[in-house]
Amino acid sequence: MKRIAVVASGRGSNFQAIIDAIHNGTVPAECAALITDNPKAYAIERAQVAGIPVVVIDYSTFPSRELYERALLLAMQKADVDLFVLAGYMRILGASIVRAFPGKMINIHPALLPAFTGLHAQRQAVQYGVKLAGCTVHFVDESLDGGPIILQKCVPVMDSDDEDALAERILEHEHECLPEAIRLFCQDRIVIEGRKVRIF
């Protein structure tokens, strides 16, 4: 059985979806750790309820991003897992961390990549006037939200949507998409071929 660790910064609703999928047997994995940069993240409470060890690397206590990333890398290496899942981690990972875990790190992004990278993707989609939005699970590389795509789900954009309404509907699909991608990884059904991800 594969070991995973979740890296999160906030309320952890995607983390909860992963916990639930492991608990009900959908995802054949053990969640070995929650790693967070935010000591106030609600995800910590979710981890404690589920009996998952928590590692807090508080970004605000480090004098530089470089020192923070060094501590984060050390924590990730200590976790000794097969896959890191970025689930609402609100920082861009430095190249040294990305290079340390090639093909072993995935991220969920609330847009149909390559459209609307970075922060506030749902706001970008509403402002641009697209008719379809959605979410993407992708491998993490050194580009911003640009790694090979594993899964995507579409969500229609309504004329009445604001950023929050669209985000809420996309989130429902994130909760399906992310555990599904983890399941495929844990079953050794994913192969990266250049920019393409093949699912067997």
Q: Hey, which residues are catalytic here?
A: 109
Q: Where are the alpha helices (DSSP H) in 51-198?
A: 65-79, 95-100, 121-128, 163-186
Strand partners, 106: 85, 139
96 alpha carbon, distance to own chain's centre: 18
C-alpha distance from residue 88 to each of 1, 15, 25, 179, 190 (Å)? 25, 9, 23, 14, 23
Distance between CA 133 and CA 112 in Å, rounded? 6
Peptide linkage before 114 cis (omega within 30 of 0): yes
Residue 197 and residue 149 in contact, taking contact as beta carbons nearer than 8 Å:
yes
Q: Which two tokens stand for residue 172?
A: 């429902």
